[in-house]
Chain A
Amino acid sequence: MPEILLKNITKKFGDFVAVDNLSMKIEDGDFITLLGPSGCGKTTTLRQIAGLETPTSGEIYIDGVLVFSSEKLIDISPAKRGVGFLFQNYALWPHLTVYQNIAFGLENNKWSKERIKKRVDELLELLKISEFIKRYPAELSGGQQQRVAIARTLATNPKVLLMDEPLSNLDAKLRMEMRAELKRLHKETGATFVYVTHDQLEAMTLATKICLLKDGLLQMFNSPLDVYLKPLNTFVADFVGSPAINLISFKYNKIGKHKIKLVNEFFDFSFESNNELPENLGEEVTIGIRPEYIKVSETGKFEVEVYTSLPSGMETILGLIMNDSKRINCVVFGANDFSVGNMVKVDFIGSEIVLFNDQGIFAALGKLLY
C-alpha cells in the first residue's frame, strides 16, 4: 500500500531549521496538501519525500519500505522510490517534443517501442492533448505545458505523485479548470497525491487532508472542514478561510461549566460552549468568528460603519468598522452593494464560534448570547 510515513523529520540549512521534527502519516489514496506561508518548509518536506533533498535526521517510509533513515544510514535514490514529481515551472525539456518529453523516461526503462507508443497515446488521451503531440514546449500555452508535465510524470505509473505548486503559474480560470482535472486524475489513477500550495482555497478544495505548517512546525493535520471549523490555534484559524476569520480578545468571567462572560471595550456578551469548558483558560481569551456568522439585518444589535464593500455577484465581502477603530469582516450572500460610510446593524449567529485560550490554543466551540 503506497502510504507515506514521516518520522521525526528535521532539515537544517546551516543554522536555519527548515523542517522541525515533523511526523505524519499519509494514508494510501489520500490527497494531501502541504499548506503554509512561504518559507514554512512545505516544499522542503515534499523534496525530502522525493529524495531530492536529504533530511538532517528522521525516517521516511514509502509503501512500507524504509527509503530514508539517518540512523540506519539508508538513503534510496529518487528514481527507486517509485514517486512522480510535478515541478512548479513544469521543467519540460525544451529541446524535445511533447511525445519525446513523455516517452523519454520510458525509453530509459527499456520499454519496447510499441509499448511506449501505446502508453504515451493513452496519456495524451487522458489529458486531452493528443493534437499537440509533435509540438515543442515553447509552442504551447501555460495550461497545455502543465498537462504535458502531468502526462510525463504519470507515464511511469508512479504510485505516489508529488506536486510543488503546480498551478501557481496559471491564470485564475485555467487554475479552476486544472483543479477539477487533478481531482479527476486522483480518482482515475488511484495514486497517493501530495500537493504543496500556499493558496488555502486550493488546499481546501482539493485535499482529503490538509497539513498546515509554520516555520517548519506542523500546526494541524486534518480534513479541510475540520481545519476550517475547529482550528487548533489562532494561526490555523487566521490562515485558512477567505476573507479571514475575525479574532477578538476579551477579558472573561466564568459563570458555570459551559458559560463564560466576555467583556472588552466594544462588546459585553457571553459565550455558551457546546461542550464542557476546560478548567484553565488563562488571563484572556480570543474568540474567532467566521465572516459568514456575522449577519447584517435591520434588527441587528450592533451598529457598525461600512468601510469597504466588495460585491462579486454571488456574495459581497464587507469590511466593517466599530467605534472608529476595530475592523471586522463579514460576508453577505446575494447580489448586494453597500455604500461606504453608511451605518448597518449586525448580529453574531451560529453555534460554531471558536474559543481560544490565552495561548491561542483551541478551547471550545459554541455560540454567543446577548
Chain B
Amino acid sequence: MPLGYRIKRYLKKPQNVIIVIMVTILVYLTLVPIITILIETVTVHPSETMSLKKEIGTHTSSHWMKVLFSDSSFAVFYEPLLHSLQTSLCSCLIAIVFGGTVAWLVTRTNLRWKKIVSTLFIFPYIMPSWTLALAWYNMFKNSVVGGIPGMFTAFTGLQTPNWFAYGPFPISMVLGLHYAPFAYIMIGGILRNMDANLEEAALMLNTPRRRIIFKITIPMVLPAILSTILLVFSSSMSSFAVPTFLGLPVRYQVLTMQLYRTLNGVNHGQGYCIAVLMILIGISILTFNRRLTGVRKNYTTVTGKSSNIAYINLKQGKNLISIIVVSFVMLISIVPLLSFAIESLLRVPGNYSVSNFTLQFWIGTAKQNSMFNSEPGMLLNPTVWHCLGNSLKLSFSVAFCAGTLGFLVGYAVVRARGTKLASTLDNLAFFPYLMPSMAFSAIYLAMFSQRNGFIPPLYGTFFLLVLIGTVKNMPFASRSGINAMMQLSKEIEEAGEIQGISWLKRMTHLVVPIQKSSFISGYLLPFIGSMRELSLYVLLVTPNTRVLTTLLFYYNEKGWSQYSNGINLLIVLIVLIINNIVNKMTGASIDKGIGG
C-alpha cells in the first residue's frame, strides 16, 4: 500500500488524529524540557566563567563531578538523598497504615458514622500538603530554635522536643497523613469492588475471620497497596513545601530543598543534575509500578453479581473504635482549619488569651494596620482580591485545558489500545508526574523567556502559568480520562457510528453524557491541584500574575503569620466549597478521578 494512502487511512480514525497531535505537543512540552535539562547539566553557566575558566555555553563535566564525586557531594547530594528516601519511606508506611485501616473499617465492618469518616478523610488530600505542615508548625513549634512557641506549648506549658516539632518525624507524619486519603481511595476501591464471593467461599469452608483477612483479603489488595506505596513514595520525594516548613528550622535538607537552593542561587548546573537524578528515581519507580499494576488487573475481576458481604461485627469495641476513628479524622481535617482561623485572629502571635483576639487582619483598614507595613486586612486588601482572582482564573483555565486534553488522551489511548503510539501517548501524559515541579518551572523559565521559534517570549504572561499548570496536571487528568473510557464499551459508540452520527456528536451526545461524572472528576483534580500548587508557580509569577499560594509564601517569608494562616484558610475553604458544589451537582468526585 502506498504510504500516502496508509497515512490517510490511519488519520481517518479520530483517535489516531488525537494521538498524533497530542504526542507532538507533549513531546515539545515534556521531552524537550528534559533534553534541555540534560544539556544544561554539562554547560558552563554565566556565573561560572570565572571559577571554571571556560566560556559561557562550552561543555563541562564539573557539575556532575561536584554533585556525585567531590568532597561536597555528601552535603549537596547524598545526605539530602538519604533524607528524602527516609521521609518518603516513612510517609508511605504511615499513609498505608492509616488509609488502609480506615478503608478496611469503612468497607468491611459495622463501624459507626461511615459517611462522616469518608467525607472528612478526603480533606487532607484536598488541602495543600503544606497546610498540614503549617498546622503542625502552628501547634508544636517550640522556642528552642528561637521564635514564639505554638499552641500546644501555650496551652500545656510543655516544651515540645525538637525531634517532634521539626525534621524527619513531622515531615513523614504530615506527608503520610496527606497521602493517607490516597491510600484510602485506592485500597477502599479494591475492597469495595472485590467479589465478596471470594471471602464468602472461605467463610463457607469454616475459615476463621482473622485467617480470611490475612490469607485472602490482604493478598487480594496487596497489588493496590504496592502501587499506592510507589505513588506516595514518588509524590513525597518531590514534595517541597512540607520539608521547607518543618525541616528548615533544624537545617534538615532534602533533595527538593537542595534543588530550590541551587536553582535559585548560582549553581544552576548542579541543580539540573539533581533534577535529572530525581527524574531517574521517578522513572524507575514508575516502571516498577507499571509491572505491578499489570498484575493487579488480573486480580480484580468484578463479577457484578456478588452480594454485599456481611459486615464484620466489631462487637463491644464498636463504639470505642468508632470514636477513635472519628476523632482521628477530625484531628487531621477540622483541627488544622481551626488552627488557621485562630492564628489569623491573634494580635500578638503565641498569646492565646481572649483579649489578644482581633479581626484587624481580616477587616482592618490600612491605617489600623500601620504596624504591618500598612497592609489592609485580607478582606479589604486589593492584593489579596487580585491574587484570589488570579488563582481562580488560573485554576479554572488549567482545569479546562487539562481536563479536556486528559479526556481526549483517555479517549485516544483506550480506543487505540495495544498500538505503540497509544502507549507512547499514555506514558508521555504521565511523564510530568515524575518531573520535580521546581525543575520543571526552572526549565520553562529558560525555554520561554525568549522567542522560541514561532512562540513569542512568554515570561510574565498568564498563559505561561496556564501552560505549565496544564502539563503538570496532565497525569491525573489523563488517568481519569482513561478510567472513564475503560468503563464504556466501544459498542456504545459504534452503534452511533454505524448510523452515521459524526464523531463530534458521538462525543457530545453519547460518550460524555454517559460518563459525565467521571469526566468532570477529570476537571476537578487539576482544579484542586492548581489551587494548591506552590512550587510550580513560585518561580514564574510576576507581581501582575501572582496567585494566592505565592502570596502566602511571600507573607510567610515576611513572618506575618496572621496573613499566611488567613490566606491558607481561604484557599482550603474555596477548594472545599467548589469540590462540594461540583460533587453535589454532578456526582463527580476526586475518588472517581483517581479510580477508586
Which residues of A are interface residues toward B (Cβ below 8 A)? 50-52, 54, 70, 73, 75, 77-80, 83-85, 87-89, 91-95, 104-105, 108-109, 152, 155-156
Interface centre among B492, B494, B499 (most CB of A within 10 A): B499
Chain B residues with CB under 8 Å of A77's CB are: 12
The 6 closest A-B pairs by CB, nearest first: A79-B500, A105-B499, A91-B491, A91-B495, A87-B491, A78-B498
**Complex interface residues of chain B between 474 and 518 (CB less than 8 A to chain A):** 489, 491-492, 494-502, 505, 509-510, 513-514
Instruction: Indicate whether A52 sits within 8 Å of B12 (C-beta atoms), given known contacts A73-B1, A73-B5, A93-B510.
Output: no
Chain A residues with CB under 8 Å of B494's CB are: 52, 78, 85, 87, 91
B9 at interface, CB cutoff 8 A: yes
Instruction: Indicate whether A52 sits within 8 Å of B492 (C-beta atoms), given known contacts A93-B510, A95-B514.
Output: no
**Pair A75/B9 contact, Cβ less than 8 Å:** yes
**Pair B491/A108 contact, Cβ less than 8 Å:** no
Separation of A284 and B326 alpha carbons in the complex (Å): 80
Chain A residues with CB under 8 Å of B513's CB are: 95
Chain A residues with CB under 8 Å of B496's CB are: 93, 104-105
Rounded to whole Å, the gap between the CB of B489 and the closest CB of chain A is 6
Rounded to whole Å, the gap between the CB of B491 and the closest CB of chain A is 4
A52, A54, A93, A104: which contacts B498 (Cβ < 8 A)? A52
**Pair B9/A54 contact, Cβ less than 8 Å:** yes
**Pair A79/B497 contact, Cβ less than 8 Å:** yes
Rounded to whole Å, the gap between the CB of B518 and the closest CB of chain A is 13
Separation of A95 and B489 alpha carbons in the complex (Å): 14
Interface centre among B5, B495, B505, B509 (most CB of A within 10 A): B495
Chain B residues with CB under 8 Å of A70's CB are: 1
Instruction: Indicate whether A109 sits within 8 Å of B500 (C-beta atoms), given known contacts A70-B1, A73-B5, A87-B494.
Output: yes
Rounded to whole Å, the gap between the CB of B512 and the closest CB of chain A is 10
Separation of A251 and B502 alpha carbons in the complex (Å): 64
Chain A residues with CB under 8 Å of B491's CB are: 87-89, 91
Chain B residues with CB under 8 Å of A93's CB are: 492, 495-496, 510, 514
Instruction: Indicate whether A104 sits within 8 Å of B499 (C-beta atoms), given known contacts A93-B492, A95-B513.
Output: yes
Instruction: Indicate whether A108 sits within 8 Å of B1 (C-beta atoms), given known contacts A85-B494, A89-B489, A93-B514.
Output: no
Separation of A77 and B502 alpha carbons in the complex (Å): 11
Q: Chain B interface: which size bin?
A: 20 to 34
Main secondary structure of the interface of A (DSSP, over half): loop
**Pair B498/A50 contact, Cβ less than 8 Å:** yes
**Pair B492/A85 contact, Cβ less than 8 Å:** no
Rounded to whole Å, the gap between the CB of B144 and the closest CB of chain A is 62
Separation of A70 and B509 alpha carbons in the complex (Å): 33
**Pair A156/B495 contact, Cβ less than 8 Å:** no
Rounded to whole Å, the gap between the CB of B3 and the closest CB of chain A is 12
CB-defined A-B contacts under 8 Å, sample of 12: A73-B2, A79-B499, A87-B491, A91-B491, A91-B494, A91-B495, A93-B496, A104-B501, A105-B499, A108-B500, A155-B499, A156-B499
**Pair B9/A87 contact, Cβ less than 8 Å:** no
Rounded to whole Å, the gap between the CB of B363 and the closest CB of chain A is 48
Chain B residues with CB under 8 Å of A79's CB are: 497-501
Rounded to whole Å, the gap between the CB of B492 and the closest CB of chain A is 5
Separation of A94 and B514 alpha carbons in the complex (Å): 7
Separation of A94 and B5 alpha carbons in the complex (Å): 37
Rounded to whole Å, the gap between the CB of B407 and the closest CB of chain A is 17
Chain B residues with CB under 8 Å of A95's CB are: 513-514
Separation of A152 and B505 alpha carbons in the complex (Å): 17
Chain B residues with CB under 8 Å of A50's CB are: 498
Closest to B502 in A: A108
Closest to A105 in B: B499
Rounded to whole Å, the gap between the CB of B486 and the closest CB of chain A is 15
Closest to B512 in A: A95
Instruction: Indicate whether A84 sits within 8 Å of B498 (C-beta atoms), given known contacts A73-B5, A75-B12, A94-B514.
Output: yes
Closest to B8 in A: A73
**Pair A108/B501 contact, Cβ less than 8 Å:** yes
Separation of A357 and B1 alpha carbons in the complex (Å): 42
Closest to A81 in B: B498
**Pair B498/A152 contact, Cβ less than 8 Å:** no
A54, A80, A87, A108: which contacts B495 (Cβ < 8 A)? A87
Separation of A91 and B489 alpha carbons in the complex (Å): 8
A52, A54, A94: which contacts B497 (Cβ < 8 A)? A52
Chain A residues with CB under 8 Å of B9's CB are: 54, 75
Instruction: Indicate whether A152 sits within 8 Å of B500 (C-beta atoms), given known contacts A89-B489, A108-B505.
Output: no
A83, A91, A155, A156: which contacts B492 (Cβ < 8 A)? A91
**Pair B498/A85 contact, Cβ less than 8 Å:** yes
